[in-house]
């Protein structure tokens, strides 16, 4: 089946949960009640003692952290950018802390299944989440019954990395620039099918932003992940997609797809000849995939601070930076507050696009 047939794959069922685990070897709520004054006084004393005991226990746990295996939840299937970043980090953090860090892939529903799973984990620092802006900034605008409130369910740890997306077309589509694409889409509204990693994925939102700014309409064909979406473009099932640099570069060299622009504000070092969408006729366009590390709300600040320091150290290591940059991923490693600010900007930006484009998750 080719994109010109206007027949979409029958396999576009909703994503399901997965439980793939990759291991890297190493070298209290009280009961409410009513009472008289004496009872209330006694209750206050007991509550104070309980709070003090909890704080002491958390402090003791933080001092020896980590003392056992740490699980890093990746809300996507194995093989994508988030999984790759998670594995690279887990390997380095195992080396630094002397304890195993494992990657727990829990894909499905555009990352929201794994995100919800991590939200319910114990706030002890032994289950952390490597989320993306599709789960912590975009999903809240799309899902009416989202199983988590990111602001309340998580404590921010660090903005880990940012990755560009490459606007690519199938070689049979007669366009070689953004201007030519816009002209064709205006002449043939809805005739160009584009593939994405799923409803609300950053590849989807980047295309929606493109259509919003250019005043064009194309047809959305969602898949269950970036790999299947890219394969649909390469095989000719769809005509256009935003793909990772690590996919776009070799496939372009093999003549299987044609990159026409990058989604970032500046050109990517791995494909410096490729113009940005902003400089190709749509000034102000910018879309990235961002990766943030979170801990369940209530995690001791000492543990959050320790993880933040170790992650910054890992992302500053030459071998880690080289491995990430070889995939077109820009390592960050920020203070928790910078992740909060980034999340706020992304949430406001994509909320506006979703409202203006009338996107609904069915």
Question: For 254-276, what is each residue's pLDDT tens digit?
Answer: 999 999 999 999 999 989 999 99
More confident residue, 351 or 109: 351
Residue 308 has pLDDT above 80, yes or no: yes
Rounded to an integer, what distance in angstroms lies between the CA atom of residue 173 and that of residue 283? 24
Please state whether beta strands 20-22 and 101-105 pair in parallel, antiparallel, or not at all (unpaired). Answer: antiparallel
* Residue 30: pLDDT band with limits 50, 70, 90: very low
Residue 153 has pLDDT above 90, yes or no: yes
74: CB partners within 8 A, 6+ apart? 82, 83, 86, 103, 104, 105, 106, 114, 130
* Residues paired with 174 in a beta bridge: none
Percent of the chain with pLDDT over 70: 83
pLDDT at 268: 92
Q: What is the pLDDT of residues 163-221, one digit of tens each?
A: 999 999 999 999 999 999 999 999 999 999 999 988 999 999 999 999 999 999 999 99
Query: What's the rounded mean pLDDT across residues 108-132?
Result: 95
| Residue 314, token pair as written in the block | 């890992």
More confident residue, 248 or 108: 248
Other beta carbons within 10 Å of 157 = 26
Q: What is the DSSP letter of 13?
A: P
Average confidence score pLDDT of the chain? 86
């Amino acid at each position: 089946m080719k994109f010109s047939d206007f027949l979409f794959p029958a396999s576009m069922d909703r994503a399901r949960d997965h439980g793939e685990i990759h291991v890297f070897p190493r070298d209290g709520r009280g009961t409410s009640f009513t009472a008289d004054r004496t009872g209330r006084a006694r209750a206050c004393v007991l509550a104070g003692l309980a709070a003090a005991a909890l704080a002491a226990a958390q402090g003791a746990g933080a001092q020896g952290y980590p003392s056992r295996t740490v699980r890093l939840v990746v809300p996507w299937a194995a093989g994508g950018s988030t999984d790759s970043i998670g594995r690279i980090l887990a390997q380095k953090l195992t080396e630094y802390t002397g304890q195993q860090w494992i990657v727990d892939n829990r894909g499905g529903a555009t990352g929201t299944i794994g995100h919800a799973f991590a939200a319910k984990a114990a706030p002890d620092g032994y289950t952390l989440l490597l989320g993306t802006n599709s789960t912590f900034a975009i999903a809240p605008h799309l899902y009416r019954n989202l199983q988590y409130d990111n602001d309340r369910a998580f404590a921010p740890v660090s903005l880990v990395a940012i990755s560009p997306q490459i606007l690519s077309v199938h070689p049979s589509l007669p366009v070689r620039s953004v201007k030519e694409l816009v002209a064709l889409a205006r002449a043939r509204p809805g005739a160009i099918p584009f593939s994405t990693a799923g409803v609300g994925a950053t590849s989807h939102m980047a295309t929606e932003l493109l259509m919003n700014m250019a005043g064009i309409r194309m047809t959305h064909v969602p898949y269950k992940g970036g790999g299947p979406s890219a394969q649909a473009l390469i095989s000719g099932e769809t005509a256009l997609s935003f793909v990772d640099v690590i996919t776009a570069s070799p496939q372009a060299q093999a003549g299987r797809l044609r990159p026409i622009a990058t989604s970032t504000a500046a050109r990517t070092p791995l494909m410096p000849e490729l113009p940005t969408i902003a400089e190709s006729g749509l000034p102000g366009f910018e879309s990235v995939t961002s990766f943030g590390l979170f801990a369940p709300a209530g995690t001791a600040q000492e543990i959050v601070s320790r993880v933040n320091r170790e992650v910054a150290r890992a992302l500053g290591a030459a071998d880690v930076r080289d491995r990430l940059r070889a995939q077109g991923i820009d390592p960050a490693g920020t203070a928790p507050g910078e992740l909060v600010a980034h999340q706020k900007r992304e949430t406001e930006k994509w909320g506006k696009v979703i409202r203006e484009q009338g996107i609904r998750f069915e």
